[in-house]
Amino acid sequence: MSAAEPEPQPEPQPDLAEVARGNDLDIGHLLDRVEQTVLGGPRKYTAAEVAERADMSREESRSLWRALGFATVDDDAAVFTDTDVQALRLVHELRACGFEDDALVSSMTRLFGQTFSRLASWQGQLLIQMLGQRPDLLESEDSVVDVIEHVGPIMEQLQNYAWRRQLVAYFARVAARAGDASGDNVAEPLSSPQVIGFADMSGFTALTRKATEAELRTLLDRFETLATEIVGQHRGRIVKTIGDEVLFQADSPGEGAEIALELLEAAAEDPLLPDLRAGLAYGPVVSRLGDVYGSTVNIASRLTTIARPGSVLVDRALHDALADDDRFQLRPRRPESVRGFHHLHPWRLRRRRG
């Protein structure tokens, strides 16, 4: 971090529970009302009843529930709602549309569970933070429920919008690689190589020992915001963020290199963020359920682990692809043995000056 100026400190957040107690709110009863608002009604069906109403076997409904990431419930516990019945009926509709493979449906369900678990946690934290900053919204149960009733549909609409735009963007990338139907322009084939990059914060583990929870949230939010902006500016895609690390993908060597260098440069100028380090590799990639796999991904990960703070390392394939690009300078480093690769030859990527 820069020593030239003091680090900005997050403002202390009000204690939500303390504010609620000060307004004599029954937290348990309030939670029941919020739950019914979000779930669209009270819990009233057992697992067997919800499966029967959805015309689905108990075994299949149990499998889908587990795939979503929820704990198994007692057979006689009435924990399901009309919304759960409708969700199972939608699975039948998907099958009728062509999704007949049980393994595919299970994989899709797991992806929904993993994706929306993280999204829901993030949204829940934002709501709690907002309520803590607005004590007037906690004056009564009705005022809290009113906020949930208004905010929930807005979030749903924004999620639907973002999903639609991302789906269109995905099909556009597929079309660009396949070439247009006229054959006048032949783009890269579907198996064209991709740039895979990792970037993480140096010394993050040590930082977590002395930072408060609020400071860590602020730091991670700053890092994710920075990564989202820079990756998007260069037509890349964030595959996922894992705490202090971001995994991104780019179609061209130059775009991948620009993303990595700009991430490090922006972090160096940010007084809150520690130095970043990055690793890039270029080659074929297996894409599955929104994630990426294969040797190219593994090489990029290993390069990141051996990169020094403030530096970008690339593999041989990306070095060769950037060799004639006068924007960049590549300096060889000695080969290293890392997990899975006995003779990994990295190059240090920098901007060419002058």
**What CATH number is given to the structural domain containing 279?**
3.30.70.1230
pLDDT band at 270 (very low <50, low <70, confident <90, very high): very high
Is residue 167 situated within a structural domain? Answer: no
Residue 115 or 248, more confident: 248
Q: Are residues 127 and 254 in the same domain?
A: no
pLDDT score for 321: 96
Confidence of residue 301 (pLDDT cuts 50, 70, 90): very high
Q: Is residue 333 part of a domain?
A: yes
Q: Provide CB contacts within 8 A for 112, sequence distance 6+.
A: 68
DSSP letter at 165?
Answer: H
Judgement on whether residues 132 and 201 belong to the same structural domain of the protein: no
> In terms of domains, do 227 and 333 share one?
yes
The predicted pLDDT at position 136 comes to 81
Whether residue 171 is contained in a domain is answered as: no
Kindly state whether residue 46 falls inside one of the protein's structural domains: yes
206 and 146 co-located in one domain: no
Judge if 92 and 218 occupy the same domain: no
Q: Any idea which of 47-61, 91-105, 239-253 has the lowest mean pLDDT?
A: 91-105
Give me the mean pLDDT over the 327-348 stretch.
87
Query: 199 and 347 share a domain?
Result: yes
Q: Which residues lie below 8 Å from residue 332, measured CB to CB, with a gap of 6+?
A: 345, 346, 347, 348
Q: Are residues 117 and 227 in the same domain?
A: no
Alpha helices in 134-252 (DSSP H): 141-178, 204-210, 213-233
Residues 341 and 202 in one domain: yes
Q: Give the count of domains, the chain.
A: 2
Residues 206 and 347 in one domain: yes
Pairs from 240-247 (Cβ < 8 Å, separation ≥ 24): 240/290, 240/291, 243/204, 244/200, 244/201, 244/204, 244/220, 245/198, 245/199, 245/200, 245/201, 245/304, 246/198, 246/199, 246/200, 247/196, 247/197, 247/198, 247/292, 247/297
| 143 and 285 belong to one structural domain | no
Say if 314 falls within a structural domain: yes
Residue 303 is predicted with a pLDDT of 96
pLDDT in tens, 53-94: 999 888 888 888 888 878 778 888 898 999 999 988 888 888
Does residue 341 share a domain with residue 271? yes
- Determine contact, residues 346/304, Cβ cutoff 8 Å: no
Cα(56)–Cα(60) distance, integer angstroms: 7
Packing angle of the helix pair 82-96, 102-133 (nearest 10 deg): 140
In this structure, of 132-141, 186-195, 216-225, 285-294, the range with the lowest mean pLDDT score is 186-195
Average pLDDT over residues 192-220: 87
Q: Is residue 9 part of a domain?
A: no
Cα diameter, the chain:
74
Amino acid identity for residue 244 in this structure:
D
Q: Using an 8 Å Cβ cutoff, are 308 and 318 in contact?
A: no
- pLDDT tens figures, 101-121: 887 888 788 878 878 887 888
Confidence (pLDDT) at 203: 85
Backbone conformation region of residue 214, classed left if phi is above 0, alpha if psi is from -120 to 50, else beta: alpha
Q: Concatenated DSSP letters for 326-342? A: TTEEEEE---EEETTEE
Q: Are residues 341 and 200 in the same domain?
A: yes
Cβ distance 198 to 245 under 8 Å? yes
CA of 106: how far to CAs of 20, 60, 109, 195, 258, in Å?
Answer: 41, 10, 5, 30, 38
Q: Tell me the residue type at 122.
A: W
Which of 89, 124, 151 corresponds to the end of one domain?
A: 151
pLDDT computed for residue 196 by the predictor: 97
Of 125, 151, 177, the position where a domain reaches its end is 151
Overall average pLDDT of the 42-47 stretch: 90
Which residue did the predictor score with more confidence, 259 or 103? Answer: 259
Quick one: pLDDT at residue 2? Answer: 39
- The mean of the pLDDT values for the chain is 84
Average pLDDT over residues 249-261: 95
Assess if residue 58 is contained within a domain. yes
Task: Give the SS3 label for residue 74.
Answer: coil
pLDDT (0 to 100) of residue 184: 43
pLDDT digits (tens, 9 = 90+) for 163-192: 899 888 878 877 776 664 444 443 334 457
Distance CA 195, CA 257 (A): 9
What Cα–Cα distance (Å) separates residue 85 from each residue in 114, 202, 283, 341?
Answer: 21, 47, 45, 50
Reported confidence tier of residue 199, pLDDT bands at 50, 70, 90: very high
- Is the pLDDT at 327 greater than 70, yes or no? yes
Identify the H or E element spanning 50.
helix 47-53
> β-strand 312-314 against 276-283: which pairing, if any?
parallel
Domain-located, residue 173: no
For 209, the domain range is: 194-351
The first and second tokens of residue 311, run together, are: 């530096």
pLDDT for 36 beyond 70: yes
What are the C-alpha distances in Å from 203 to residues 224, 245, 276, 305, 308? 17, 12, 9, 12, 11
Whole-number Å distance between alpha carbons of 92 and 83: 15
Average pLDDT estimate for 121-126: 82
Which one of 84, 117, 151 terminates a domain? 151
Helix (H, G, I), strand (E, B) or coil at 41: coil
